[in-house]
Structure 1
Amino acid sequence: MRKIFAAIFAIIFAILAAYVFQILLQSNSENQYLYLVFAILALLLSGTMIFSFFSAQMREKIKRLNHRIELWSRVSYHVNQVGDELFNQLPIAMIALDDNNDIRFANTFAKEKISQRMVNKPLSEVSEFLFEQVKNKVTEFRYTHNDLIFEVHFKPEFNFIYMFLATELVLLENQYQNHLPVMLLMSLDYIDESLASLPVSEQSTLKGQYLGTIADWANQYEAYLQQLSDDRIIAFTTREKLNDMMQHQFKILDEVRKISEKHDVRVTLSMGVASWDTPYESLGIYAQNAIELAEKRGGDQAVINIQNQKIAYFGATKESVSSNSRVNARIQAQSMKQLFETCDSVYIMGHKRADLDALGAILGVYQMAKAVQHKSFIIAPNDELDPTALKVFKALIQSNEDPRATLESIQISNKSVLVIVDTQSKQLLVDASLIDKVEHIVIIDHHRASDDAVTSDTSYIEPYASSTVELVMDVWSFYETLIAIEFDPLYATIMYGGMVVDTNQFTLRTGPRTFEVAGKLKELGADISKVHGWLKKDFNKTKHIFDLIANAQVVENHFIILKDETTYVDRVLLAQAAEAALEIEHIDAVFAVGYVREGVVGVSARSTGQINVQIFMEFFGGGGHLTSAAVQKEADIEDMMDAIKQKILLEYGGQDQPMKVILLEDVKGRGKKDDVIEVAGGYGQFLLTQKKGIPANEENLKALHDQQEKAFEAQQKHIELMKTLK
């Protein structure tokens, strides 16, 4: 208010001074000097009041600023105190790096927990892992040092690392994960038909032996077990116990098989296992899908479906048991005929780079479809046939109409039927986009299903079969009773050739039905001499195969790895080389490796049946059979060969010399950090050389025990500290 009055008076005096000046200018009286003095005084008074007004404002502003500075000084003191607390007392490790990733600053907590002498050292000397993450600019990750676990946040723009102690949180997470539910569905394959010929008392005894063995195994893992029927069992346990089962490779599969071998019956065990953080209704669906996949793959195995993990397979170490049942073939024949009659077109497709088995199966199905639906076509472009199949197909269309539809001319609709043969994998199909364009899909295949298998209306999948041609002929034997089929002798010859290729001249994966089908094809006009002519190898290829064998690498005395250094090698030649090397005495498995195109390595694996090469190839993303499998993978050829060697050591290295090892980190399928495990000697050496484990000798076991006790004490102290802070 005072400021307002001062401003008003200053204005009044200024007006008064202006008025006096005006009188002076208009007057010549003797009092003009008096008026002048009065005007000057008014101006001076007005100026003084204006100056005082602004001075007062400035003083007040300065006073406010001084007051604010005083407040900031007090706050700054407290902020410094909090900063000191953050940098040196709270459980947060802070590390500052320079442009060369050398450590220039580390707070007290970082020094206490990681290294007292870390400052002015390269980060790589303190922790190679931290250095790699910083070098790759990974902004968030977990870091384990001794028994401490940190959540790390890296700020590349400041080259600064924040590490929050998360040991207790991770332990709680692990505890929660370890107690997640696991559902196991088990099926005793072929138990009814296998025991049907035995006396009732012996059947009961044998069933009791199977169930008792399974119950004893389940008790080891604290599982709840319930029998649903003679051949179906359900069990529940926890994720922690499931990890133990996986570490022990589901040995129950071997135990059940040993009982069957002892009593000369064909019973095996299939398991579908699911562990998800989900309601039990969904968990049951996952477990059911898993056991169906196990059965589609031939049984005698466990399929494990764990949330956020790739599906794992255990077992299947022996060739699949033949069901000797043709009921499925008869049902398949009836279903296919009905589908062909009601659809508006049929398309038959195999896998990429189709071999003679795929081509023969395609042609066999084509003849069945053509007998009912005249709009039947084959999808087999020239560039998707291997050299032998392409040569054979060119010979076929010289005397027959080309039954193919080009990818551009396909007029597929939701009323079309798509038949897929010799594969179930979406990745291997000639054109996977067709799957989504049809309502009805039929699959005929003799390979074990993978986790990317195509879903079909009807399927005939028998991994025990020698070839897909054998399965097609099983269906054909019933199909011809429903409708007359004209069988072209050249088609029969090609199908016979497919069986010859897949059985390696009828020496692998053959059964009684294999020879029955071969005999039937011979009756239908198959020309065996023509097949041998197609499969003859030229001189240069034969010489090349023997050169590969001459330079073979022998691993663990029973494995051979062949390396083809040709720029791009034909997959058929790799397969032929592997089969040729398999004839060497004492060799159980062969892996032929070579580039099939730029940056892509192909591996063709063959075995005598003692080694499951399908598991090997599935590990690398491929698939196949116990005795015949393959994979194509973007990789360097040397890296691929090293990976195969490591897998051999992991599974079969030094089997006669077991070794105990303390794990230095989690190893999938084997154990967790600080676990003491017993492994094959070769694999044990692999863990030591890779610094993933140390020998479980007396000294290391004592050090582990002391370390665990210290960690427990430190954890208890930390918990007490956190309680105090709260």
Structure 2
Amino acid sequence: MKDKKSHLRFDFSVSQAGFILSLLFDFIILYFDIKIGLICLSLIVLLAIYNLRLNRKKNKQLLEYIETLTLNIDTASKDTLLKFPFPILISEYNGDIIWYNHKFLNTVKNKKLIGKNLKDEFPELYSAVLEGKNKIEKFEYEGAFFDVLVTVVEVEEGKNEKRFLNLFYFVDVTDFVILQKKYEIQNVVFGYLTIDNYEDVLNSAPEVSKSSIVSEIEKRITDWFYNQIRSDVFLMKYERDKYFFICNKEAFYKMQERRFNILEQIKEVNLYNKIIPTISCGIGIRQDSIFQAQKDAKTALDMALSRGGDQFVIFHDGKFEFFGGKTKEHEKRSKVRSRVMAQTIKEIVKHSDKIFIIGHQYFDLDCLGAAVGLSKLCLNLGKEVYIVINSYNPTIKNFLQVLLDDPQYQNIIIDQQKALKMKTKTSLLFVVDTQRTSYIDMPQMILEFEKIIVIDHHRRPADWIEQALICYSETYASSVSELVAELLSYEGIKLKKFEAEILLAGIMIDTRGFTKNVGVRTFEVATYLRENDAMPEAIKEYLKEDLESYILKSQLISNLEIIYSNIALVVDYSQVCRDNVIIAKVADELLNIKGIDASFVVCKIENSVLISGRSNGKINVQVILEKIGGGGHLETAGARLENRSIEEAKEVLLKAIQEYINENRNI
């Protein structure tokens, strides 16, 4: 009982202050009029006695309430609660706090909580009760950590009355958490860092500036690691444009806090160089093995480079995390890799009996152009080749008909079922215009083939096709049709007019009529296709949209919202759009509005919400849509959300945009 009285004693501080003030006031009255002063004094004494008796009665009622509580629990349990060495808290099932022991009182630093509710004082405990949890790990309060055990106890009020109480047992794990954090920050972090465009930067600068540029880049890298991070870091340059570093996780956290701002600092190097230098870094984190951390760092660096560079990629616990990647890819000047790739692909095709070509969901013109180009390469080598299509974009319908009208291509388009029956152990599978397993039109095909070649122009995602023999991914390229047409030009293959036009159409669609993401090699490929009688006028005729599509575009644009003053957003609430081509066209159209740097169009088709993003280069739509499972390029990206309402999809997109803006504001 002593413990209970110490917890439940009534606070008289307010009434005592009032009593003292009343006495002082009465003494003043006595000074002027003794008779009235004595009457007031008598009243004050009577009120004090009444107040004292009232407080004692309340205190007794509260003690009886707690006594009833403990009497409803057996003697052993009652004794355990009172003498338990860990903090204990008891609440009503609705969260009202009714009792706690000395240990808990010390934990909350003598804060009076009787009668208050868990919802206000300990929201996490309240949520645990609602969710039916029986344990909360590492519950933090005032800098201390506890594992909290939650128990629901049934007590009897009378013969037929029962009620439920929540018992919380607090086990102090503060020392363990601190030790765990100390151990965690000692995890091995290994990183590879490379200058993406070392040769191009130096070649773009006058001879007298080259040594100064190299020196400035090296100075900024070493300064960032040793002076800005200021932690245990070992950095070593092992080639003229390559570094590796080893540090602990504490240093890594400091890098992360700065959001790897070395990416921006390197871009500030301007000593008469016409090309801005960029860097890429891959980081691997392991608890126990520096060798495995090094392997993970190499994997992360490969991922960073395949995504166009200018970014940090962290590979930890089997997952990738991306930072940066805001710079538009520069066209590579050397054609050596392309020529080597053409020869390698040719040799693999020669040693395959049948070749199958697939693309992403809703096979589009870029997919078709690449598929036709690869088919031509295989046919020239005397190989049996098939294009496997499950779903396709309406824009390719006319081109498909032209293809099927040619005797050589009459039986080339098949479905998945037929392809799987025809394949053999030595068959080869080409995957074009995607390297993302979740975007492939027929994922089952990936599992059935031992030999896979991927040709793509998008940044590599986390769920890329790892089992591919070759992943020919060039993010500088305008389209996958450009890459395939370039391979054909190296082989000197003569194309039929319709083959050249389908390839050129794929390039025209992805470059918006040679106005976006084009380089010297894009025009070189276009020249090769034009030499093979491709007619842009004929392609434009095939690509003309009908009146219904034109009206639908106008309806969608009428839903335009402007957010953050420079981002256009269209949401198809009425769900009138049933064509993903229209979505992309509307997104393109919105960029023509003055002051708009990026556009997003959200439409629901069947059970999927499609999001198309476009940019003029000032905002990286690929990074934004990657946050919600999409991907693409800095200027062109898309995402698909399954089993979401259009309102939910909009909220997810807005959250991703807000995160992107906050991240770039902090750099």
Shorter-chain TM band = 0.7 to 0.9
What is the CA-CA distance between 1:431 and the residue it aligns to? 2.1
Determine if contact 1:606/1:613 at 8 Å carries over to the other structure.
yes
Determine if contact 2:187/2:288 at 8 Å carries over to the other structure.
no
The alignment partner of 2:377 has SS state of: helix
The one-letter code of the counterpart of 1:414 is: K
Deviations 1:34-70 (A, max 9, x none): xxxxxxxxxxxxxxxxxxxxxxxxxxxxxxxxxxxxx
Provide closer, same or farther for how the CA distance between residues 262 and 432 of structure 1 changes in structure 2, counting only shifts above 3 A.
farther
What is the CA-CA distance between 1:530 and the residue it aligns to? 3.0
The one-letter code of the counterpart of 1:478 is: Y
2:555 is the counterpart of 1:560: no
Equivalent position of 1:465 in the other structure: 477
Equivalent position of 1:154 in the other structure: 150
Q: Which moved more, 1:391-400 or 1:350-359?
A: 391-400
The alignment partner of 1:408 has SS state of: helix
Equivalent position of 2:502 in the other structure: 494
Aligned pairs for 1:537-686 (under 5 A) are 537-567=545-575, 569-598=578-607, 600-634=608-642, 635-652=644-661, 679=666
Aligned pairs for 1:185-196 (under 5 A) are 185-192=192-199, 194-196=201-203
Determine if contact 1:96/1:104 at 8 Å carries over to the other structure.
yes
Determine if contact 1:194/1:265 at 8 Å carries over to the other structure.
yes
What is the CA-CA distance between 1:104 and the residue it aligns to? 5.2
| Distance (whole Å) between structure 2 residues aligned to residue 446 and residue 402 of structure 1 | 28
Equivalent position of 1:172 in the other structure: 179
Aligned pairs for 1:189-338 (under 5 A) are 189-192=196-199, 194-196=201-203, 202-219=209-226, 220-221=228-229, 222=231, 223-259=233-269, 262-265=272-275, 267-307=277-317, 310-338=319-347
The one-letter code of the counterpart of 2:198 is: I
The one-letter code of the counterpart of 1:385 is: Y
| Distance (whole Å) between structure 2 residues aligned to residue 109 and residue 536 of structure 1 | 78
The one-letter code of the counterpart of 2:130 is: K
Provide closer, same or farther for how the CA distance between residues 82 and 162 of structure 1 changes in structure 2, counting only shifts above 3 A.
closer
The alignment partner of 2:486 has SS state of: helix
Q: State the aligned residue count.
A: 571
| Distance (whole Å) between structure 2 residues aligned to residue 505 and residue 394 of structure 1 | 23
What is the CA-CA distance between 1:323 and the residue it aligns to? 1.2
Deviations 1:645-683 (A, max 9, x none): 33333333698xx8xxxxxxxxxxxxxxxxxxxx49xxx
Deviations 1:275-307 (A, max 9, x none): 121311111100000001111111111111233
Equivalent position of 2:121 in the other structure: 126
Determine if contact 1:92/1:164 at 8 Å carries over to the other structure.
yes
Match of 1:362 among 364, 371, 384: 371
The one-letter code of the counterpart of 2:265 is: E
Provide closer, same or farther for how the CA distance between residues 157 and 331 of structure 1 changes in structure 2, counting only shifts above 3 A.
farther
Deviations 1:462-487 (A, max 9, x none): 1011111111111111233xxxx452
What is the CA-CA distance between 1:395 and the residue it aligns to? 4.1
What is the CA-CA distance between 1:116 and the residue it aligns to? 5.0
Q: What is the TM-score with the length of structure 2 in the denominator? A: 0.80
Equivalent position of 2:439 in the other structure: 428
Determine if contact 1:350/1:422 at 8 Å carries over to the other structure.
yes
Equivalent position of 2:170 in the other structure: 163
Determine if contact 1:555/1:645 at 8 Å carries over to the other structure.
no
Deviations 1:104-163 (A, max 9, x none): 554444455459555555532333333333322234334333433332333468754433
The alignment partner of 1:228 has SS state of: strand
The alignment partner of 2:611 has SS state of: strand
Structure 2 residues without counterparts, runs of 5 or longer = 1-73, 155-165
| Distance (whole Å) between structure 2 residues aligned to residue 638 and residue 156 of structure 1 | 39
Provide closer, same or farther for how the CA distance between residues 437 and 110 of structure 1 changes in structure 2, counting only shifts above 3 A.
same
Equivalent position of 2:426 in the other structure: 415
Q: Which moved more, 1:110-119 or 1:253-262?
A: 110-119
Equivalent position of 2:451 in the other structure: 440
The alignment partner of 1:409 has SS state of: helix
What is the CA-CA distance between 1:605 and the residue it aligns to? 0.5
Provide closer, same or farther for how the CA distance between residues 77 and 633 of structure 1 changes in structure 2, counting only shifts above 3 A.
closer
| Distance (whole Å) between structure 1 residues aligned to residue 80 and residue 167 of structure 2 | 20
Match of 1:85 among 77, 83, 86: 83
Aligned pairs for 1:674-713 (under 5 A) are 679=666
The alignment partner of 2:522 has SS state of: helix
Provide closer, same or farther for how the CA distance between residues 407 and 146 of structure 1 changes in structure 2, counting only shifts above 3 A.
same
The one-letter code of the counterpart of 2:446 is: I
Deviations 1:568-627 (A, max 9, x none): 6422221111110011111111111121222x3221100001111110011111100000
Determine if contact 1:103/1:118 at 8 Å carries over to the other structure.
yes
Determine if contact 1:97/1:105 at 8 Å carries over to the other structure.
no
What is the CA-CA distance between 1:391 and the residue it aligns to? 4.3
Q: Which moved more, 1:634-643 or 1:568-577?
A: 634-643
The alignment partner of 1:464 has SS state of: coil
Deviations 1:85-109 (A, max 9, x none): 21xxx333343542x4555554444
Q: What is the TM-score with the length of structure 1 in the denominator? A: 0.74
What is the CA-CA distance between 1:538 and the residue it aligns to? 2.5
Equivalent position of 2:53 in the other structure: none
Determine if contact 2:556/2:571 at 8 Å carries over to the other structure.
yes
| Distance (whole Å) between structure 1 residues aligned to residue 288 and residue 663 of structure 2 | 41
Determine if contact 2:625/2:656 at 8 Å carries over to the other structure.
no
> Share of identical aligned residues, percent?
27
Q: Which moved more, 1:173-182 or 1:614-623?
A: 173-182
2:505 is the counterpart of 1:475: no
Larger radius of gyration: 1
The one-letter code of the counterpart of 1:128 is: P
What is the CA-CA distance between 1:421 and the residue it aligns to? 1.0
| Distance (whole Å) between structure 1 residues aligned to residue 355 and residue 271 of structure 2 | 44
Match of 2:463 among 445, 449, 452: 452
Determine if contact 2:338/2:487 at 8 Å carries over to the other structure.
yes
| Distance (whole Å) between structure 2 residues aligned to residue 119 and residue 395 of structure 1 | 82
Q: Which moved more, 1:610-619 or 1:367-376?
A: 367-376
Match of 2:395 among 385, 388, 412: 388
What is the CA-CA distance between 1:331 and the residue it aligns to? 0.9
What is the CA-CA distance between 1:357 and the residue it aligns to? 0.7
The alignment partner of 1:184 has SS state of: strand
What is the CA-CA distance between 1:556 and the residue it aligns to? 1.5
What is the CA-CA distance between 1:632 and the residue it aligns to? 0.9
| Distance (whole Å) between structure 1 residues aligned to residue 555 and residue 105 of structure 2 | 60
| Distance (whole Å) between structure 2 residues aligned to residue 174 and residue 636 of structure 1 | 41
Determine if contact 1:95/1:107 at 8 Å carries over to the other structure.
no
Equivalent position of 1:715 in the other structure: none
The alignment partner of 2:639 has SS state of: strand
